[in-house]
Each structure stands twice: as structure tokens, then as C-alpha cells.
């Protein structure tokens, strides 16, 4: 019997080729590896579950506020309404801790983790800094005074010791009253709502018809900033303020913005900097919003505004504080009907302009169409030194203003351009000349009012007497709207002289009832004229009839009006 025969006769003997055995071994190996991976994953999940069980089984952590650190790795912490001396975990570096910082405590009241600062609390106002600057006296919303520590985030240590980081009285601070810490300086949102910090994008070239006034304000504002050495050489004090007054809509605000822009660019050029990156601050005060019904709040806002101006000016950057509608805030003291708020608001402004704390690199510009209502103390020399009247535009000024809004860049009707041989500039010039002639014509169609003065004299007023830069812009805008509507209807677009003439008629029609008042003060505000007191007004608008007269004999106001 051969060996092969014997092997086949024995039970349990593997009958397979070597290739089959190798494949079998490979399958078993893969199965073992998969089983091993499954066991490892199960073990990992068990460890994670164990960690979760251990975490959930841990006692709760407490929190405290760091008061002081010591060299022996202990700290004073304010927690649960009391101050305690606690040990630091070896994993925490005491040198990296900051006062006022939140610390996490374990069950044994050991410090195990350092966190950030508390982000909520009460708002307090800094009254003054105490000692070395690490403590401060703050006032709460109920006028309650308290002494608090300043967090490290508010204090830094220099070569000369401890010093505050740009903290000034009046700053708003986030205060943790329980721990006794001031944690953060909060921006003055109430002042942010009242001022607009920016470099305006208005140039003098954008303003038409006010060359003389622009030259006056440039002499008053730009010369002292740009040539301060000459002013000191001649012992000449630069003006502290400028008043722009005149009828509404004639460019007072535009001039103030152009001053800020021009001043920033020229100072940048004098320093060798890029004029496109010129920097100045134009604090545009929203006059009526400055008033507050609570006693003392308006005065406080004025103090904060000038404090902001001084901070910006201390960097060598010019600051312009612009009060629009100045008569609404600083009217003559004693003229109020009920509140007489001006009795305290006006002195506050006076003390800011020429008080003990001077204004360097800061100039105040006020704008008003009722300069007669502003307190005389504000207008005297040494305060608002320069007074510039912005008058209503005459025909020459109106041409200049129209040229700012009506240019060859706008679509012009082909028929109108063809009349001038295809010369667009000649077409525009002719349009402007024709429109201005129509607006300033003293014809019967342009008669508006007949006024009778107290001495019996009469005067006829035309629409041109109530013209303004704002009205001219509105006429151009109306003409553009007419051109758009015509293009939508007929398919042919472009501005025509007829659009402007129709715009003038619509503008006059809308303004027929504008001065619908029997108050001489309102007439003075609207017309911009002064003289004898008006006692009788008669409208002369075509189609209205001659009977539409309004007597104002019953008015009790006296003085120089229209």
C-alpha cells in the first residue's frame, strides 16, 4: 500500500492543494484582523463611556473673580459673596493671571482653570482715578458712587509704574458690582448717535455761487491750521468758531463739509502724506436730537461731544464740530416759553469754547437760518468770531449752481443738440441761460407776494426772491424725471429745454403755499430779508385772485423782521 493510499484511508486528513491552503489562511487572517479592529473600537467606546460616567459623576464647579495673586501660588478670589485665599493648580501659571479674570474652582475650592472676563454687568461712569490708577471712583445709574478696582485689561504697567490706558473722567465702564471690578470701557453709544465722524466727500468745486463765502471760511479755518507758525509769529489768535447764517437751502451745510474735506487733504499734503488717505474729523451734531427731556442730560451730551473732539485733536488731527440748526439748541436765554432749557445749555457751550480747558485743533461751525434767535453771548468775538452770511443766489450765482447739476455727461435730446451744430456744451449753456432767465424774470407770471410794511410802503416779491440752491437742484431733478417718462412713452430720450421750463412751473406751483403763515418771524426765516415789520401780505400768484390776503395786524411780535 502506497502512502497516498494510506492517507486517503485515514479519517480527518486534509485533502487540499497548497494554493487552497494559502487562500484559507488569508481568509482567516482577514477575519482575525476585523475581529481585532472591532474589539479595539469596543474598547475605545467603553473608555469614552467611562469618561462620560466619570464626568457626570464629578461635583459641580464654582467660579470666582481674581482679586490678587501671591508668590506662593495662592490667590485671593471673590466667590459666592466672599473673598477667599485659594491654591492654584500646578497647571496654571500665576504670572499669566489678570485681575478681574474669571477662575474655575473645583469641589475643594482649588483653582483649576483660568477663563476670560465677564461680559455683562452694570454701566458706571468714571468720576476719577484713585491712588496709583488701579482703583477708580464710578457713578452708577442711580448716582450712587462706589470705589472699584480696575481690571488688568484697563490698566497696564509701564517703566514708571502703573498707569491707566486712556481712561478719562466721563468714560462709561462695565462694572461687576458684586466683585467690585471695572472690567471694560464701553463706547459712548449715546454720543455715537449724535455725531457723525467722517471725512466728507464734498469739495469746494461742488458748490456753486458762493465763491466769496468760500474764500471767507477758508481764511478763517484753513489758514490757522496750515500756517500756525505765521499766526504765532504775528501773535494772532485763530478764530474759535464760525457762524454760517442765511435762508434755508443755500449751502451752509455743504460749505461746512467742504471745509473738513479740504482741510484734511491740505494737511496731508503738507506732511507729505497721500491726500487720498487724508484724515480729519467732522462731528456733525444733530441739533434737535441733542435736546433731552431729563434735566442735565443735554449739558452732559455737550460735554461728551467736546471731550471727544479734544481726544481726536490731541492726535494732531483737525476736528470740526458742526452744529446744524444752531438756533434750536442755543437760543437767547429767557426766551423760552416753558422749559427755559437754554439757561443752562448756552453756558455749557460757552464754557467749552473759551473755558479753562482750551480747544486746540478744534473749530466750531454753526449753521442757522434764524441767527437773531441765537444767544448774543455765543456770537460775540472770542467765541463764534467769524460770521458769514449765505445769501440767496442771484442770476449769476444761479448759472454757476445749474452748471454743477446740468453737465454734458447727462443724456441730451438729439434735436436740442442739433440746434447747436452737435455741440453738447453749447446746448447745455443755452439751456442754463434760458432756465435762469425764466426763473429770474420780473414778469407778472413770476409775481408771488405783495407785502405792506408798518410805514405804509409796499413791495412786490417774485419767485426769485425765494430761490435757493436746493430749489435749483430740485428743478434739475424734475427735468430728469420728465425726460425719463418721455423716453418710456416715446422711446426717444434726453433732456430738453422744455423739461426745465415745465419743472420751473411745477416748482413754483408747489411753493405757492410754502410761506402760508401769519407770523413775521417765519417770514424772516423764509425770505432772508430784514427791514420794516410786515403788517399785511397779499398773494399775487396767477389764478389765485387778488383777494387771497392775510393780515397780521394781530401779531404781538415786534422788531425788525423781513
Query: How many Å from the N-terminal Cα to the C-terminal Cα in the chain?
Result: 146
pLDDT at 476: 92
User: For residue 449, how many other CB atoms are within 10 A of its CB?
Assistant: 23
Rounded-to-integer distance, Cα 296 and Cα 341, Å: 9
H/E stretch holding 320 reads strand 319-323
Residue 164, φ and ψ in degrees, nearest 5: -80, 155
User: For residue 522, how many other CB atoms are within 10 A of its CB?
Assistant: 14
Residues of the chain with pLDDT under 50: 1, 7, 157-165, 194, 338, 356, 516-518, 520-521, 524, 528, 543-562
Strand partners, 77: 66, 84
- pLDDT tens digits, 182-195: 988 887 655 555 45
CB 103 within 8 A of CB 131: no
In order of their start, the domains of the chain are: 62-114 (2.40.50.140), 122-186 (2.40.50.140), 204-323+352-369+379-389 (3.40.50.300), 395-551 (no CATH)
Determine the length of the chain.
562
Rounded-to-integer distance, Cα 469 and Cα 450, Å: 24
pLDDT at 275: 59
pLDDT at 226: 82
pLDDT at 301: 80
Q: Which of 502, 521, 513, 515 is nearest to 561 (CA)?
A: 521
Give the residue numbers of the binding site for ATP.
249-254
Strand partners, 69: 75
pLDDT at 426: 92
CB 225 within 8 A of CB 231: no
143-175 CB burial, b ≥16 within 10 A, e <16:
eeeeebbbbbbbbeeeeeeebbeebeeebbbbb
Which letter does DSSP use for residue 465 in this model? G
- pLDDT tens digits, 343-363: 778 888 888 887 645 677 788
pLDDT at 555: 38
pLDDT at 158: 43
Give the residue numbers of the binding site.
249-254
Amino acid at each position: 500500500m502506497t502512502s497516498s493510499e494510506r492517507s486517503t484511508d485515514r479519517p480527518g486528513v486534509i485533502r487540499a492543494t497548497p494554493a487552497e491552503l494559502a487562500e484559507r489562511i488569508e481568509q482567516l487572517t482577514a477575519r482575525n484582523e476585523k475581529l481585532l479592529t472591532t474589539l479595539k473600537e469596543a474598547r475605545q467606546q467603553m473608555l469614552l463611556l467611562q469618561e462620560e460616567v466619570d464626568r457626570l459623576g464629578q461635583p459641580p464647579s464654582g467660579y470666582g473673580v481674581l482679586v490678587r495673586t501671591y508668590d506662593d501660588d495662592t490667590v485671593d478670589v471673590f466667590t459666592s459673596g466672599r473673598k477667599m485665599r485659594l491654591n492654584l493648580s500646578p497647571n496654571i501659571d500665576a504670572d499669566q493671571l489678570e485681575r478681574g479674570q474669571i477662575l474655575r474652582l473645583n469641589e475643594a475650592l482649588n483653582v483649576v482653570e483660568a477663563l476670560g472676563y465677564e461680559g455683562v454687568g452694570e454701566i458706571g461712569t468714571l468720576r476719577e482715578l484713585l491712588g496709583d490708577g488701579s482703583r477708580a471712583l464710578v457713578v452708577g445709574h442711580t448716582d450712587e458712587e462706589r470705589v472699584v478696582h480696575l481690571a488688568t485689561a484697563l490698566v497696564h504697567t509701564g517703566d514708571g509704574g502703573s498707569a491707566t490706558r486712556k481712561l478719562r473722567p466721563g468714560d462709561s465702564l462695565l462694572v461687576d458690582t458684586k466683585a467690585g471690578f471695572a472690567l471694560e470701557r464701553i463706547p459712548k453709544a449715546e454720543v455715537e448717535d449724535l455725531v457723525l465722524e467722517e471725512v466728507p466727500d464734498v469739495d469746494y468745486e461742488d458748490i456753486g455761487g458762493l465763491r466769496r463765502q468760500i474764500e471767507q471760511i477758508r481764511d478763517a479755518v484753513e489758514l490757522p491750521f496750515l500756517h500756525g507758525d505765521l499766526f504765532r509769529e504775528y501773535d494772532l489768535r485763530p478764530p474759535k468758531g464760525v457762524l454760517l447764517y442765511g435762508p434755508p437751502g443755500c449751502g451752509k451745510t455743504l460749505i461746512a463739509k467742504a471745509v473738513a474735506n479740504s482741510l484734511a487733504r491740505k494737511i496731508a499734503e503738507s506732511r507729505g502724506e497721500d491726500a487720498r488717505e487724508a484724515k480729519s474729523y467732522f462731528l456733525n451734531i444733530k441739533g434737535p436730537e441733542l435736546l433731552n427731556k431729563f434735566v442735565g442730560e443735554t449739558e452732559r451730551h455737550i460735554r461728551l461731544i467736546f471731550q471727544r473732539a479734544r481726544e481726536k485733536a490731541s492726535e494732531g488731527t483737525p476736528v470740526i464740530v458742526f452744529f446744524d440748526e444752531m438756533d434750536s439748541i442755543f437760543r437767547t436765554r429767557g426766551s423760552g416759553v416753558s422749559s427755559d432749557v437754554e439757561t443752562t445749555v448756552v453756558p455749557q457751550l460757552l464754557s467749552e469754547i473759551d473755558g479753562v480747558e482750551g480747544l486746540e485743533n478744534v473749530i466750531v461751525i454753526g449753521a442757522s437760518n434764524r441767527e437773531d434767535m441765537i444767544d448774543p453771548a455765543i456770537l460775540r468775538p472770542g467765541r463764534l468770531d467769524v460770521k458769514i452770511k449765505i445769501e440767496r443766489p442771484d442770476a449769476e450765482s444761479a448759472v454757476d449752481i445749474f452748471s454743477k447739476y446740468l453737465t454734458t455727461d447727462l443724456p441730451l435730446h438729439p434735436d436740442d443738440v442739433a440746434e447747436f451744430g452737435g455741440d453738447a456744451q453749447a446746448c447745455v449753456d443755452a439751456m442754463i441761460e434760458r432756465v435762469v432767465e425764466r426763473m429770474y424774470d420780473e414778469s407778472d407770471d413770476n409775481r408771488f407776494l405783495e407785502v405792506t410794511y408798518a410805514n405804509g410802503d409796499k413791495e412786490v416779491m417774485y419767485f426769485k426772491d425765494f430761490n435757493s440752491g436746493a430749489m435749483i437742484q430740485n428743478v434739475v431733478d424734475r427735468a430728469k424725471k420728465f425726460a425719463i417718462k418721455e423716453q418710456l412713452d416715446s422711446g426717444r430720450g434726453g433732456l430738453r429745454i422744455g423739461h426745465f421750463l415745465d419743472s420751473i412751473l411745477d416748482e413754483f406751483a408747489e411753493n405757492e403755499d410754502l410761506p402760508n403763515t401769519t407770523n413775521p418771524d417765519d417770514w424772516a426765516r423764509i425770505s432772508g430779508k430784514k427791514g420794516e415789520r410786515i403788517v399785511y401780505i397779499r398773494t399775487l400768484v396767477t389764478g389765485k385772485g387778488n383777494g387771497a390776503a392775510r393780515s397780521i395786524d394781530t401779531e404781538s411780535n415786534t422788531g425788525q423782521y423781513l
